[in-house]
């Protein structure tokens, strides 16, 4: 027999400043704390540096100076104790309610696409709109593939991450089973975009999601469409890792 449909819990309101981790669903009243904020500021600086390097001509001496400075910082950071994601999951082994309709949503701070502290982040602004997750973003120089256009892999990663916030709304853990992207137009660099995703169907543990990426500066023109298949797992198994 197929698994029972995924149930919904009551929705709890969260302030815009609350830190929320949709991968372990922990509302953390003590965050953003000083370290989390400092890491978020550093993450943004690292992303800005990457785009500045990719998008500007500078003297060769400055490139060498930057490389030497960064290597020195790497050595200093590597002197610190190793961190890992499971530390948080083990401290907060529970599943919290979804954010309220209209609330902003945040990922694990080091999450590659939406994490505030991630050097690989896209600086997304994500909100809940009913049962949909909507991520707005402006891609920058380091995201460029073909001239003036985003690399296709960036678009795919954006969809995969945005689908994860639909799981936040549903209050279920799941892993990506399949992701299909249809590119309908080039995704521009330097223009505001919106990635809107929702649950389209459910069959036991199997969730089917759909989404669209649109150009907000061009009347909502559809740039890409995505379809994803996700398989739910028990929260305790997800929180255990592996």
What is the SS3 string spanning 18-84?
Answer: CEEECCCCEEECCCCCHHHHHHHHHHHHHHHHHHHHHHCCCCHHHHHHHHHHHHHHHHHHHCCCCCC
Which fold, 19-34+84-240?
Answer: Thiol Ester Dehydrase; Chain A (3.10.129)
pLDDT of residue 26: 38
Listed in sequence order, the residues at least 6 apart from 15 whose beta carbon sits closer than 8 Å to its beta carbon are none
Q: What does the pLDDT read at residue 96?
A: 67
pLDDT in tens for each of the 242 residues of the chain?
334 333 333 222 333 333 333 333 333 444 447 888 899 999 999 999 999 999 999 999 999 999 999 999 999 999 999 887 766 555 444 566 899 999 999 888 888 999 999 999 999 999 999 999 999 999 999 999 999 999 999 999 999 999 999 999 999 999 999 999 999 999 999 999 999 999 999 999 999 999 999 999 999 999 999 999 999 988 777 777 65
Say what the pLDDT of residue 108 is: 82
163 by Cβ neighbours in 10 Å (0-12 / 13-18 / 19+) ranks as buried
Contact between residue 213 and residue 187 where contact means Cβ atoms under 8 Å apart: yes
Cα–Cα distance between 192 and 137 in angstroms, integer?
A: 6
Provide the β-strand partners of residue 174: 232
pLDDT of residue 67: 98
| Per-residue model confidence (pLDDT) at position 34 | 84
């Amino acid at each position: 027999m197929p698994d029972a449909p995924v149930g919904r819990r009551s929705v709890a309101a969260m302030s815009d400043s609350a830190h929320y981790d949709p991968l372990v669903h922990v509302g953390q009243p003590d965050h953003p704390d000083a370290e989390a904020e400092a890491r978020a500021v550093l993450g943004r600086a690292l992303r800005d540096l990457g785009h500045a390097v990719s998008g500007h001509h500078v003297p060769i001496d400055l490139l060498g100076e930057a490389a030497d400075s960064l290597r020195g910082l790497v050595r200093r950071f590597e002197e610190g104790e190793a961190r890992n994601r499971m530390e948080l999951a083990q401290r907060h082994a529970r599943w919290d309610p979804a954010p309220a309709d209209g609330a902003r949503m945040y990922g694990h701070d080091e999450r590659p696409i939406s994490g505030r502290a991630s050097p690989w982040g896209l600086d997304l602004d994500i909100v809940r709109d009913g049962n949909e997750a909507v991520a707005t973003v402006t891609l920058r120089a380091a995201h460029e593939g073909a001239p003036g256009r985003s690399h296709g892999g960036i678009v795919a990663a954006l969809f995969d991450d945005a689908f994860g916030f639909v799981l936040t709304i549903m209050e279920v853990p799941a892993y990506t089973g399949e992701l299909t992207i249809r590119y309908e137009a080039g995704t521009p660099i330097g223009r505001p975009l919106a990635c809107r995703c929702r649950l389209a169907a459910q069959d036991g543990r199997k969730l089917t999601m759909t989404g669209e990426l649109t150009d907000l500066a061009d009347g909502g023109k559809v740039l890409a469409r995505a379809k994803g298949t996700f398989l739910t797992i028990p929260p305790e198994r997800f929180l255990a890792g592996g």
